[in-house]
Amino acid sequence: MFSLALLIGVYSYIIYSLGTVHVLTKTNIIAATAIYLIVLFVYYRKKIAVVLEESYLKTKLKTIFVLLRGELVFLIAFLLIFIQAIVNFIGALGPELAFDALWYHLTLPKLYLMNQSIDVIHGGLFYYSGMPQLGEMLYTASLAVGSETIAKVVHFIFGLLTTLAVYKTAKTVFPRRIAIFASLIFYTNLVVAWESTTAYIDLIRAFFEIMAVRGFINWVKEGKRQWFLESACLVGLAICTKLLAVGSLGIFSILLIAYGIRKGMGVKGVIWVVVQYVGTALLVVVPWFMRAFLATGNPFYPLFSNYEVHQTVVDIVNPIRLVSSFWNIFTHAADPLNPVYILFFPILVFMLYRFFIRVENPLRLPLVKGRDQYMFYYLCLYGVVSLFVWYVTPQTGGGRFILPY
């Protein structure tokens, strides 16, 4: 899945490149897509041949069948996800009705195709055109080969990919029956179900975010630099999808600091690791920042501009606002979340207490794999810090702004 995530990012930049040289036509998009797929087929032909072998398919199907037959809990959770996916897919086939999709997620790609370029549109109406737009690049290709329905199905597919990524990430720490419930809880969020039927971009960002978390976990477990770089690149792709994802750099910086302290890296070592991670992630977004800078003089447009949503320091540190914001987002958000999250929040805080106060004697949980105790605490830390990152960013998006976390 890491290769798939990175290949999606590369493809978005192919569409971006066509737009920057003013040759963003339907013919060129179809030709570039065909060439890209052919190159991928040639490069991965051996892996594709192995996957298509009858023995491989039989082994995989047998494994899935044994798993579904042997664990009733897993089977029930899987069936619920499957039913939810069918409902979401039916919704994705209908006409687009969501406001932001009609305002700019689909309108901007249509304008780009009309103008054969991805110029920044000045003025207050389409100020989003100055932001990174990985998702809109995918929708531009979707509109070039079909209609808005294809764009909506693309976003629906990202919902399934994110659910699978949640399962695989959870499975590195928990048994399968717990991991499948993590996927079920995520996919049955009403905000996820609704997003799966629209041409928004939050599920695309969520996919890159959770894959970045999985890459970080792999790096901590195995120590391979490959995972470190892939995690950073995936955060960069999340920022390419939605500029608000820049807050995730703060989350992973704190995770890296916690890791460095545990490993005794020292101050310089910790700073260097954080700089490498943040630098790699931002390097992925540089083409979008350069585009915004050349058009507006501000690489982070519309941040620090007249269209920025402002929050005062007084508002942020107000404890009443803090508690009410957290309560509102988990109990009656505009785009509702699953109430399971707020029910387990006290346990999450307790786990973090045990991690930092009793780090030499971590709590042994029967549901957590013994060799992955510390991975569980890193996930807890990620969860808590992500709440505060969401809190200091504009909260106008309801449940969908916290969806990736």
pTM: 0.90
pLDDT grade for 314, boundaries at 50, 70 and 90? low
Check whether 8 has a pLDDT greater than 60. Answer: yes
3-state SS string for 349-399: HHHHHHHHHCCCCCCCCCCCCHHHHHHHHHHHHHHHHHHHHHHHCCCCCCH
Question: What is the C-alpha separation between 254 and 175, in angstroms, rounded?
Answer: 27
At 266, the pLDDT band (50, 70, 90 cuts) reads: confident
pLDDT in tens, 47-75: 877 776 766 666 766 666 766 666 778 88
Mean pLDDT computed over 4-28 = 96
What percent of the chain stands above pLDDT 70? 87
Answer whether residue 232 shows pLDDT above 80: yes
For tokens 């973090």, the residue is 352
CA distance 98 to 191: 13
Confidence at 375, pLDDT banded by 50, 70, 90: confident
Report pLDDT for 360.
47
- DSSP-derived secondary structure letter, 308: P
Position 36 pLDDT exceeds 70: yes
Dihedral-angle region of residue 264 (phi above 0 means left; psi in -120 to 50 means alpha; beta otherwise): left
CB-based contacts of 320: which residues, under 8 Å, 6+ apart?
none
Identify residue 59 by its one-letter amino acid code: T
